[in-house]
Amino acid sequence: MIPKLLVFLFVTGVSTILAANVCKIGNIVHRSGNSQPYYFPNNWNENQTAPGLGRDQSCSWVFTVPHGYYAKLIISGKTGDNYSHFQTVDAAGNVVQTQHENKEPYYFPFPKFTLIVDNEAPATFGFKVIWAPFPNVQLQQGGVNIKPYRINITNSQQIIEFIAVTGVSVLAFPGDLKNYHALKSALLFDGNDMNAPFVNK
């Protein structure tokens, strides 16, 4: 009885280890010629639960974003301890660090962004990146004054230029205004269009 139990525990342990994904540091990913999304792991998609990630992983991906395009990242996963994290770094050097992601989107402009995973305990982790041209929507202009300039971004993408000394342009993607994650759904440029320097998210 005991040998059978030991064999069962050994096989269960090996299958659990084999089921957990592993990753590496230094992945560089460019937009594919056929505009296909990039998935990690490559057999996962966003309609599935987050796959397992083995313990003691240090991973990084640098995603290049062509001029005139943006990248959209969704992450599904949760770390298994208080020390591990998922981290994004955008083109302006802004860092976001989290321990739980539920597929709320991040948007990144030219020229690149970085995704870093550092976990000690086993975790769950999967992500998808798509690249798309900036939307061809009508530019709206608004002044900066005491009265707020409001626009509904819940149904479609909008581009707004706020006129000031140099101008500031905001590219807003549809978002749930009751959810603070919607704040990640806007790109801010220091100028009168999306060719201006990227500032912040």
Q: Are residues 20 and 114 in the same domain?
A: yes
Identify whether residues 108 and 151 lie together within a single domain.
no
Can you give the pLDDT at residue 14?
A: 37
The domain boundary residue, chosen from 117, 133, 149: 133
Nearest to 67 by CA among 171, 179, 181, 196: 196
Q: Mind listing the pLDDT tens digit of every residue in the chain (201 residues)?
A: 455 444 433 333 433 344 578 889 999 999 988 889 999 999 999 999 999 999 999 999 999 999 999 999 999 999 999 999 999 999 989 999 999 999 989 999 999 999 999 999 999 999 999 999 987 766 666 665 556 556 655 566 666 656 666 677 777 777 666 665 665 677 877 877 777 888 864
Measured between alpha carbons, how far is 191 from 92 in angstroms, rounded to an integer?
A: 15
Shared-domain flag, residues 99 and 162: no
Examine the domain organization and report whether 122 and 27 are in the same domain: yes
pLDDT at residue number 79: 94
- Note every long-range contact of 173-181, with CB atoms under 8 Å and residues 24 or more positions apart, other chains counting: 173/105, 173/107, 177/153, 179/104, 181/104, 181/105
Residues 165, 187 within the same domain = yes
Question: What pLDDT was estimated at residue 164?
Answer: 61
Other residues' Cβ atoms within 10 Å of the Cβ of residue 24: 10
Q: Quick one: 113 and 17 in the same domain?
A: yes
Would you state the structure tokens that stand for residue 196, as one six-digit string? 């201006």
Range of the structural domain that residue 99 is part of = 2-133
Q: Are residues 40 and 126 in the same domain?
A: yes
Task: Write down the pLDDT at residue 39.
Answer: 97
User: Does residue 163 sit in the same domain as residue 180?
Assistant: yes
pTM: 0.78
Ranges of beta strands (E only) in the chain are: 27-29, 38-40, 52-53, 57-64, 69-78, 85-89, 95-98, 100-102, 106-109, 112-119, 123-133, 139-143, 158-163, 168-172, 186-189, 198-200
For residue 174, the model assigns a pLDDT of: 72
Do 152 and 125 belong to one domain? no
**β-strand 186-189 against 198-200: which pairing, if any?**
antiparallel
Note the pLDDT of residue 20.
75
Residues 144 and 106 in one domain: no
Q: Please tell me whether residues 94 and 179 are part of one structural domain.
A: no
- Total number of domains in the chain: 2
**Same domain, yes or no: 105 and 154:** no
